[in-house]
Amino acid sequence: MPSLDDLRKRITSVKSTQKITKAMKMVAAAKLRKAQENAEKGRPYSEKMNNVILNLSKSITDKENAPKLLVGTGEEKVHLCIVLTADRGLCGGFNTNIIKKAKSYFEKIISENKTLKIITVGSKGYDQLKRQYKSYIVENISFKESKNINYFDADKVGKIIIEKFEKNEFDVCAIFYNKFKNVITQIPQEQQIVPLNEDKDDKDVSGNDNDYEFEPDEDEILSNLLPKNISTQIFKAMLENSASEQGSRMTAMDNATRNAGELVDRLTIEYNRSRQAAITKELIEIISGAESL
Amino acid sequence: MSNLFNIDIVNPEQSFLSKDNVFEVVIPAVEGEIGILKDHIPIISFLKPGIIRVFSGSEEQSFYVEDGIVEFKDNTLSVLTSSIFDLKDADKNFVSESISSAEAELSKDNIDDQKRFLLNHKVEVLKSISIN
């Protein structure tokens, strides 16, 4: 049985924890709105980019000589995985979910005797993966210093990927991130970016066979465009990720605040009960002492 | 019949400019400047460093772009670019910084002709901006 003093201390400590989680929740809520806005603002760019590439790849007749970034190297031996996570913890299952998704993919690759290479973006992903997959991690990138997500950072990652591709260091590249559905739901995503998988939702483009004029020719445009597309996809993933992170943190902190409240209630009852018990005990002692006189 | 069409300029962060009363747009495409009027045939091209000029009514807007993709379809011109700014609020420091970084790049030996051409062009355009 904890003493009254112990209980009082615990209540104060839980209350101050609650204050912190509450503050974190509110900060996350404010950041979430901004991140969501940014994700929405960034959407037209990647959508348009996708459209243009779809239109272009349809008009390519000579599939054999098409850029490798689009059709692949023809092999599937080396897989490069880009795992995008947050730089900070305390956001519920956010990081763990991505890692879980990525790990199941890794296991598949390894069991098929293919080579695995991992690039982690964000320090939390690196922390969680280094124990098990340290030998596979080729690069660890973190943008802790940049305050906002910007295209410049995404472009850096994109350039690394292109560079590795040109050196024939991998055949297939996939990125892992959390897609923001709403504040409570974030869906871990696996998206292949090299070779470019034809999107399933290309319905609006397939209908109109626009004969485009290309200047210069298709191949040249594509080879210029595809590297940009990689950066764009990464940027999109980063935007989705940041919105998801804030959403996830908000729900996690909301839960924590509520749990702390419940704990305080329970502890307060316990405190009151034992205080009452102590008083009763004292009274009984006095009364029985008085009776014995 | 109006002879106006739409323009959408987007960069990765946001939609930069969206207008539906454009009369003519001149874009610095990689093989030379293209002037686009209404009912131009569908075209996809990419940009070299230069100035995009947008004419709507009596108004003319100019933007500096470094690179990007343009698509014209159904009387909508979409410009996708990662580096764009309005000439009106061009930052002198930024411009001169860009010039010096481009010149530094030029002085390296290991660049191919195409890149050299683009860089030379970039310096030229940026210098013309900083004079104005």
Count of residues for chain A? 293
A227 near B CB under 8 A:
no
Q: Work out whether the CA dihedral B50, B54, B55, B58 comes out positive or negative.
A: negative
Q: Which residue has the higher pLDDT, A69 or B24?
A: B24
Domains of chain A from N-terminus onward: 4-21+253-291 (1.10.287.80), 38-251 (3.40.1380.10)
The DSSP bridge pattern shows strands B68-73 and B84-86 to be: unpaired
pLDDT at A177: 93
A242 near B CB under 8 A:
no
Which of A48, A50, A147, A153 to mutate: most B Cβ within 10 Å?
A: A48
CA dihedral A197, A202, A206, A208 (to 10 degrees): -130
Number of H helices, E strands in chain B: 2, 10
Task: List pLDDT tens digits, range B71-109.
Answer: 888 888 999 888 888 887 777 778 888 888 888 877 877
Say how many Å lie between the first and final Cα of chain B, rounded: 37
Task: List pLDDT tens digits, range B34-50.
Answer: 899 988 888 888 888 88
Q: Among partner residues B30, B42, B71, which is closest to A216 by beta-carbon distance?
A: B30
**B10 interaction partners in chain A (CB closer than 8 Å):** 44-45, 48
Q: Does domain B5-86 have CATH number 2.60.15.10?
A: yes
Domain spans, chain B: 5-86, 90-131
Residue A173 appears among annotated catalytic residues? no
Q: What is the interface pTM, i.e. ipTM, of the complex?
A: 0.77
Chain B interface, Cβ < 8 Å to A: 8, 10-15, 29-31, 34, 41-46, 69, 71, 73, 78, 80, 82
Return averaged pLDDT per consecutive 10 residues of chain A, 293 residues in all.
89 96 94 90 85 78 71 82 90 90 92 90 89 88 81 88 88 91 88 72 49 78 84 89 92 95 96 94 95 87
CA dihedral A124, A125, A127, A133 (to 10 degrees): 180
Instruction: Please give the single-letter amino acid code of residue B54.
Output: V
**A154–B29 CB contact, under 8 Å:** no
